[in-house]
Structure 1
Amino acid sequence: MGGEFSLAGLYDTWIDPEGKKLSSVPLYTEPNTLMSDFHNRMPVILRSEDESECLNTDSDKNKGSEPNSTVCS
């Protein structure tokens, strides 16, 4: 048990109204049974076998996303 894992997210860089640069936004989903007692949502955890495809901007799963953004579900 344990080890490394990846979280899905939309990557974009923008400046908020106070001038602070923000560079990433995680994707959230309904909590699994381990997290549901603590919170009503949790980050999307990628399976290790899906990581390469999610990072591939030419993937069919990423078609239609904004430039410089990666979407994988």
Structure 2
Amino acid sequence: MVQAYILIQTEVGRAAAVAREIAALPGVTTAEDVTGPYDVIVRAEAADVDELGHLVASRVQRVEGITRTLTCPVVHIV
């Protein structure tokens, strides 16, 4: 299982709507609108890196109102 945080910048005034729409996508565990340099932070999980890439490129980035995403895979440093 691969997990990642997806940091999203949106058009002005679109953060809440973007977060709601993304929260409904399969593979998304949480989506919150936040303040700061990013407007929405998403926690997602997938079976592998390829599936995660598909989730981001084919589903998340197609949500209207998104201007930029940054995907941060979770690593477990022992």
TM-score, normalising length: structure 1? 0.31
Higher strand proportion, which one? 2
Q: Which structure would you say has the larger Rg?
A: 1
Higher helix proportion, which one? 2
TM-score, normalising length: structure 2? 0.30
